[in-house]
Each structure stands twice: as structure tokens, then as C-alpha cells.
Structure 1
Amino acid sequence: MARAMFDYTKTILKKVSFDVNLFTKEVIKALNRLLPHEIDELRLWIESLLKNQPELRPCLIYLNR
């Protein structure tokens, strides 16, 4: 079940990646829903996404807690 939530979160983040504010809001929601090891995996996934979309970088402040 938890893996399904992680996959769902990635799907949502891909869909809202056009807007920095929406993306950041969804990252914050994900931090409340996901397990600690999934948050680490999400951080890595977002860092790879930033190579193509550097404008999303502001969301990293929430992931570096």
C-alpha cells in the first residue's frame, strides 16, 4: 500500500511540475504522507527532475529537514 502512495505522489508531482507553487504544495503533502525511506527516495527523484526543470529548486528547502 505504501509503495502505491509513493508512485501516486510521483505521478501528481509530474503533472504539476509546470507550476512551482503547486509543485511545492504537493511536496509538502507528500512529506506528511510518505514513510521516511520513501521521502529519501523522493528527494533523489526530485533532484534528478531538477536537471531538466531547475525552476523547481525552491521545493528543496522542505526536503532538507
Structure 2
Amino acid sequence: MTSAKELAAALSVDPESVAICGEGGFDPWEAVSVRQPPLPPSGGDFAIALGLALGRRTDEPAN
């Protein structure tokens, strides 16, 4: 995948709902308040999975 539009299409979501990180990058572990070892060596590989796990659609009820 080379673009946010391709990612959105692969995930079957609206392209406007895909967040793009800036040039400064994004540490996906900053979204996790409690970190317990072992952390994966390549934390950046988990950014999309964490975003999907932490986010929710606005039409879904909160737990």
C-alpha cells in the first residue's frame, strides 16, 4: 500500500477516517498508558493495529 486511500479501501472505511502521522513519526506505544514487558522490538509495526483496537466508530456504542 502506498497511500491512505488504498489503506482505507483495504479496510473498507471512509478515507477521511484514516489518520495520517506527520513527518515527525508516531510512537504507537504513546497511546498505551500501561506498558508491560515484553514489548515487540519493532513497535512501529503495530501502529495500525493499535489504532484499530483503540478507536471505535461513532455509530458504535461505547463499552
Report which of the two structures shows the higher radius of gyration computed on alpha carbons: 2
Question: Which one has a larger percent helix, Structure 1 or Structure 2?
Answer: 1
**Structure 2 length-normalised TM:** 0.25
**Structure 1 length-normalised TM:** 0.25
